[in-house]
């Protein structure tokens, strides 16, 4: 059964400052997330690591700016995983599994990535995890095809901006969960149900207990973002 593990949010440049200050991973399970603009000057040193041929082979970006963002994301992801593991970023190699999920080759860490232009949500943990980032869009209409009937019923009771925000929060929570499973949209998102009580989200996937999902609204001048992270154990 999936169980939650400790989740520590490190936002913006804080992750890097803590690393520079000698942050070492705890002995127990770890989970870190970095939500940032990859162009942030505070991150420049870690966003410009020399990439390997394997990193560059993963680049599928269609435009020059998208390639620049991919390279910075990949560099930061390796740096974040290295910080969590207490190893050099040069020893962290990222690969993809057959379903497209990123993984760390040969080291005991799991990673997940989400991005929108230069904005990135990167996560590393000692258990499989998923992260998703969506900019808030007040005009977002619920898409019934991706929603569980219980979610559709809940959203039908809301109007306008509240409905748009609730839909996007549900959507990020579900996408984070599906990434944690390593399946992405190969799994039908309508078959799982997100519920929200107070600030806490959970996902019901038919198992004995729902899995908690952390949802997070960064407040460091990155705009109105919704971020969700699911960690399994
Ligand atoms: C994974 C997926 C949910 C991402 O959705 P998105 O909102 O477009 O993009 P995001 O920025 O949030 O996430 C992209 C990241 O997801 C990760 N990813 C891709 N497939 C994944 C999977 N099966 N499991 C976990 N993570 C995955 C990748 O790391 C990617 O980032 P990268 O290319 O920079 O390494 C979606 O692309 C997907 O399901 N892909 C696999 C199935 C597929 O190809 N379906 C096509 C028909 S629906």
DSSP string spanning 36-93?
A: EETT-GGGHHHH-PPPPHHHHHT---SSHHHHHHHHHHHHHHHHHHHHHHTS-GGG--
Q: Is the pLDDT of residue 20 over 90?
A: no
Q: Containing H/E element for 133?
A: strand 129-135
Report d(CA 189, CA 92) in Å as an integer: 31
114 forms beta bridges with 121
% of the chain surpassing 70 pLDDT? 85
* Burial status of residue 179 (CB atoms within 10 A of its CB: 0-12, 13-18, 19 or more): buried
**Ligand 1 atom showing the smallest separation from residue 60 Cα:** 33
112 near 180, Cβ under 8 Å? yes
Q: How far is the CA of 20 from the centre of ligand 1 (A)?
A: 31
Our mutation pick for probing the ligand 1 site, out of 47, 100, 114, counting the most ligand atoms within 8 A of Cβ, is: 100
pLDDT of residue 15: 63
pLDDT score recorded for residue 61: 82
Q: Give the number of other CB atoms < 10 A from CB of residue 184.
A: 14
pLDDT digits 0-9 by tens, 163-191: 999 999 999 999 999 999 998 888 999 99
Residue nearest to atom 48 of ligand 1 (CA): 185
Check pocket membership of 117 for ligand 1, CB cut-off 6 A: no
The structural domains of the chain, ordered by start, are 8-131 (3.90.470.20), 133-231 (3.90.470.20)
Cα angle 43-40-14, degrees, rounded to a multiple of 5: 55
- Cβ of 183 closer than 6 Å to ligand 1, yes or no, is yes
Name the token pair of 229: 């992270």
Given the DSSP bridges, would you call strands 211-216 and 129-135 parallel, antiparallel or unpaired?
unpaired
For ligand 1, is residue 96 a contact (CB within 6 Å)? Answer: no
Mean local confidence (pLDDT), 15-20: 54
Q: What is the mean pLDDT of the chain?
A: 85
Percent of the chain residues past pLDDT 90, beyond the cut: 53
- The helix (run of H) or strand (run of E) holding residue 196 is strand 193-197
Q: Which of 82, 84, 78, 86 shows the shortest CA–CA distance to 6?
A: 84
């Amino acid at each position: 059964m999936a169980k939650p593990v400790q989740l520590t949010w490190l936002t913006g440049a804080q992750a890097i400052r803590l690393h520079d200050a000698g942050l070492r991973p705890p002995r127990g399970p770890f989970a870190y997330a970095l939500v940032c603009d990859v162009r942030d000057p505070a991150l420049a040193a870690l966003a410009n690591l020399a990439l390997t041929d394997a990193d560059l082979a993963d680049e599928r970006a269609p435009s020059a700016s998208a390639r620049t963002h991919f390279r910075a994301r990949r560099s930061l992801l390796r740096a974040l995983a290295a910080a969590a593991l207490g190893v050099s970023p040069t020893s962290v190699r990222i690969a993809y599994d057959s379903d497209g999920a990123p993984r760390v080759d040969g080291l005991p860490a799991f990673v997940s990535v989400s991005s929108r232009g230069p904005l990135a949500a990167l996560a590393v943990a000692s258990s499989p995890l998923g992260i998703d980032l969506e900019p808030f869009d007040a005009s977002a209409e619920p898409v019934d095809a991706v929603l569980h009937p219980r979610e559709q019923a809940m959203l039908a009771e809301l109007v306008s901006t509240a409905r748009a925000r609730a839909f996007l929060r549900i959507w990020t929570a579900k996408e984070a969960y599906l990434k944690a499973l390593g399946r992405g949209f190969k799994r039908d998102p309508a078959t799982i149900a997100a519920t929200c009580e107070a600030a806490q989200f959970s996902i019901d996937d038919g198992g004995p207990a729902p899995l908690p999902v952390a949802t997070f609204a960064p407040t460091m001048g990155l705009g109105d973002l919704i971020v969700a992270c699911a960690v399994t154990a």
